[in-house]
Structure 1
Amino acid sequence: MRYELKRLQKSLKKTFIYITDDLDNAFALADKMAIFQHGTMHQFDTPRNIYETPETYFVASYIGNMNFFYARILNSIDGHYKVELDDHITVNITGYNTYDSDRNILYAIRPERMKLSNTPETENQNITKGKIIQKDYQAEYTQYYVQLEYGKIIVVAELNYNLLLNNALSNFFEVGESVYIKWSVLAGDLVYA
């Protein structure tokens, strides 16, 4: 059906308005998307930008899984921010927006953008430490629930195919194992709460 709708729209050279809560169809069919909640539009952008750089908590949480941290900007220079998360972790991020200091902000990062490791080397990455408390094998990926040192629980999702390609079967972590959680300075976004 998606193929037929796109073909029809292109052949008619008309704008289609497709209203759905089916995210798979929305992402596949849309050139632009509008995300509404209770009649208020939260974001209007391309599907890629809505997924990659959500602007509000609602958009970020509605479009896929996300880890959220309360955020406080410590300093910023030319789009590079030093941010304190949950009053416990200091991270560096690169942002594309400016943020109103009078509004509450959250740091949002998708589970697939975080990686688990046994070693603390960073190479321009953010890092924190935690312990795996649950592991869910879900065919194409494994979802790990990790309790950070200060108690917060986050989710990290790793593609099983990548682990197999890299001959990294030993990188399947186990419940109870202490791990480092790493992610790029580009991996997360600040969003308005």
Structure 2
Amino acid sequence: MTKGNKKELTLDQREELFEALKTRFEINMNRHEDLEWAKVQAKLEINTEKLWSLHEMERTAGEPDVVGYDKEKDEYIFYDCSAESPKGRRSVCYDWEALESRKKHKPDNNVIDMATDMGIELLTEEQYRALQKLGDFDMKSSSWVQTPANIRKLGGAVFCDYRYGQVFLYHNGADSYYGARGFRGSLRV
């Protein structure tokens, strides 16, 4: 729900989100061994816009979870941890320019605008590789990752997946989209 320019959740949405996040946090302690849920929740309760972004990650089937803590910045780091690329963010091309360049069969949206609207950052290749150290993700799907400017300038974009026990980085035209390719995001709170 958006109130004016501020994005806020209803009390029921907040409670439901906290329950989902807490359950996921407790089930997947290998992702954040030295962290405590109570401290994460306290930080979330004072950052309502970040809470809204986590709700958007959850709503689009990203299954966000804490994957680290930046002591210097006092920020918890969340990534989308769904087994496959989030279902609510698939079949999208890379950015607005790519979307506009399609003459036929345009997808409904693009990765960069969706991530911006959700208030999250698209994972980098490095972050994607770090995620794979916490489990096996995208074994049947693939996820767009941040594309270097020189590749994007030439019309391309990059994505990753996990096959044969390792991460692969590939390229495609930025205007391409597939039912099994979405994107994963990160959020600092």
Using the size of structure 2 for normalisation, the TM-score is: 0.31
Higher-strand-fraction structure: 1
Higher-helix-fraction structure: 2
Using the size of structure 1 for normalisation, the TM-score is: 0.30
